[in-house]
Structure 1
Amino acid sequence: MEEKQSFFDHLLDGLNKMIPFVVAGGILMALGFAVSGAGAMSYPEEGLGTFGQVIYQIGNKHAMGLMFLIVGGFIAQSVGGSNALLAGMVGGSIASVNGSTFLGAVISGFFAGYLVKYMEKVAIPKSLETVYNILLLPVISTAVVGLVSYYVIGIPVAFIMNSLTSVLESMQGGNLILLCAILGAMMAVDLAGPILRVAYFFGVAAVVANPGVPQVVMAAVIVGGMIPPLGMALASTIQKKKFTQEEQEAGKAAWILGLSLISEGVIPFAIRDPKRVIPACAIGSAVAGAVIAYFNTGTTVVHGGIFILPIPGAVQNPLGYVLAVVIGTVVAAGLALLLKRDVPTEAIEKITEEA
């Protein structure tokens, strides 16, 4: 197995594997609400519920409910190889029931990975290698990770997660506006890099902690990630003389990418003029996040961009969502055009070729 170089590489392995579970689970839960309303959450103890209740249950328990198991397991696998997958999944599963949730799953995953990595280096007599690898290693590693997850990780991390949730829930008015503005800006400053991912998973943690409850910070994160490609798409459409032919073509694709919350659509613009494009987009995203908070616009899903709007119950106050997208896009585009050098397209192309 190729050795990864950083803590962040291992973390991203787990987080990237987790995203489809969160996205699918959140959208299915919203669909369950759309069909059965608040009754979707009341699944009967015996027999099948209504169609809406079943859809909600599939999303909540069988998709989103697996996210901690997945993130713990695949972080462990990234660190310690396939032999660490089981212990990491067990640690993540325990995190889902002892209150340590997302952070607990991450810590358990790293602990499992490094534990198995160490255990594989232990000198074992050749005659016992098969028994050790097939029986002893998985049993011992799973037992140790499980016990540590229950007795060491669970209580303090659950306290931290509950405290963070309480602080988040207590934020109203100006505090919430400032928080959402910061999260929006974080979605735009590093071209879909680690800062964006920190902001994104902060929003995801809020949704996970309160399933089915619209989260303003998640809406701010989603809209903040949409603004950079949309802002540059608008700028390259209304002021073509400031952009090369290649950038103009990238702008056409950026419309769809931005509406779909694929922030990478801004990269063709930012890599050529980062000092102007990135600040413009960050300010536009911050404004969009503030608008989201001002209108108390929340969402129960964690991805989907503009396409979550038609899902009943997915977005609280859809008008605020649309206004945030429009205002943030206009601000980002306007600042980009104000800051960008007004030089002929041919000159920009020549500069690009020389670089």
Structure 2
Amino acid sequence: MVPILAGYIAYSIADRPGLVSGMIGGYLAGQIGAGFLGGIVAGLLAGYIAAWIKSWSVPEVLKPVMPIFVIPLLSTIIVGSLMQYVIGIPISNMMGGLTTWLRAMSEGSQIIFGIILGAMIAFDMGGPVNKTAFLFGVGLIEQGIYTVMGPIAVAICIPPLGMALATMMAPQKYNKEEKQAGKGAFFMGLIGITEGAIPFAAADPLKVIPSIVTGSAVGSVIAMLAGVGDPAPHGGPIVLPVVDNRIMFVVAVVVGTLITAFMVNFLKNKVSETDDIKEKEDEDLELEFDMN
């Protein structure tokens, strides 16, 4: 998974010349123990290094082999060396430190531990912080401990479900694109894809991120205190058939979703008249093109 993530990050920056070096950098990140964060760093490095090499002025005779041989080879050597000898180990140590910290917290207050897990899952919606908490829960499943993955499974679906509900409760506070994204977020929440909340967080991070973090933290705490267990390495209502204490799983999801929706709608303002006018003008323009 990490090599694929790194490869396509590099591909998005430098196109095909960055793909190989990104995947190799991601593989090294996995081998070193740098995890998803290392994969993201490797992908970014590979992409920008490949793009930099692409900008070089080279003799005409070399141009045909640059994208298929020279750029992948040079960028792989540079990225591989950096990951192996410079930045890979510090990232690995940081990820290891996070995991150790989570293990230490799991032996303390269930409420605090639940807050931390829920907040980490919602904070970057599928990013390295989210993946650290998620992989921590998955690792405990292998040891027969399901009551950590249970709260994580609850927290995973709250951001997209909460934002979907928010757009339905107060449509006047969201533009056309956000209301459309809300429909998609609902279905993504049902199948446990936290990334469904990303369009909202990208548009208004200061109001959306605190809301989804709060909702996920509360839902996670409820699940933690109720002993909700999840033997599946996934989350959201899609795993309901296999979870322990299904009623409290549903209660935790519903409460967290409601908190997210009410909080974000309390913080957000109504869409301005300027935005409304612009939206209508865009619709008129689309209609005009369709008629032509």
TM bucket normalised to smaller? 0.5 to 0.7
Q: Who is 1:117 aligned against?
A: 51
Q: What are structure 1's unaligned runs of at least 5 residues?
A: 1-66, 188-194, 237-241, 341-349
The CA distance in 2 between the partners of 1:122 and 1:332, in whole Å, is 49
Superposed CA RMSD in Å reads 4.4
- What amino acid sits opposite 1:179 in the alignment? I
Does residue 133 (structure 1) correspond to residue 67 (structure 2)? The answer is: yes
Structure 2 length-normalised TM: 0.66
The CA distance in 1 between the partners of 2:82 and 2:259, in whole Å, is 49
Q: Who is 1:343 aligned against?
A: none
Does residue 90 (structure 1) correspond to residue 24 (structure 2)? The answer is: yes
Question: What is the aligned counterpart of 1:321 among 233, 249, 252?
Answer: 249
Q: SS where residue 179 of structure 1 aligns? A: helix
What is the 5 A alignment of 1:1-355?
A: 67-172=1-106, 173=109, 174-183=111-120, 186=122, 195-198=124-127, 200-207=130-137, 212=142, 214=146, 215-216=148-149, 218-225=152-159, 227-228=161-162, 258-261=189-192, 284-299=215-230, 303=234, 305-310=236-241, 312=242, 315=243, 317-329=245-257
- What amino acid sits opposite 1:100 in the alignment? A
Structure 1 length-normalised TM: 0.56
The CA distance in 2 between the partners of 1:252 and 1:127, in whole Å, is 53
The CA distance in 1 between the partners of 2:65 and 2:164, in whole Å, is 57
Cα deviation, residue 318, structure 1: 4.0
The CA distance in 2 between the partners of 1:210 and 1:339, in whole Å, is 37
Q: SS where residue 96 of structure 1 aligns? A: helix
Count of paired positions:
255
Report if the CA contact (8 A) 1:232-1:254 is conserved.
no
Q: Deviations over 1:200-232 (max 9, x none)?
A: 444444356667464446324314225515755
Identify if the C-alpha distance between structure 1 residues 126 and 75 changes in structure 2 by more than 3 Å, giving closer, same or farther: same
Q: SS where residue 309 of structure 1 aligns? A: helix
The CA distance in 2 between the partners of 1:124 and 1:296, in whole Å, is 63
Q: SS where residue 32 of structure 2 aligns? A: coil
Q: What are structure 2's unaligned runs of at least 5 residues?
A: 173-178, 268-272, 279-292
Identity of aligned residues (%): 29
Q: Deviations over 1:237-274 (max 9, x none)?
A: xxxxx989xxxx99999876653446759x99xx9xx9
Q: SS where residue 101 of structure 2 aligns? A: helix
Identify if the C-alpha distance between structure 1 residues 122 and 301 changes in structure 2 by more than 3 Å, giving closer, same or farther: farther
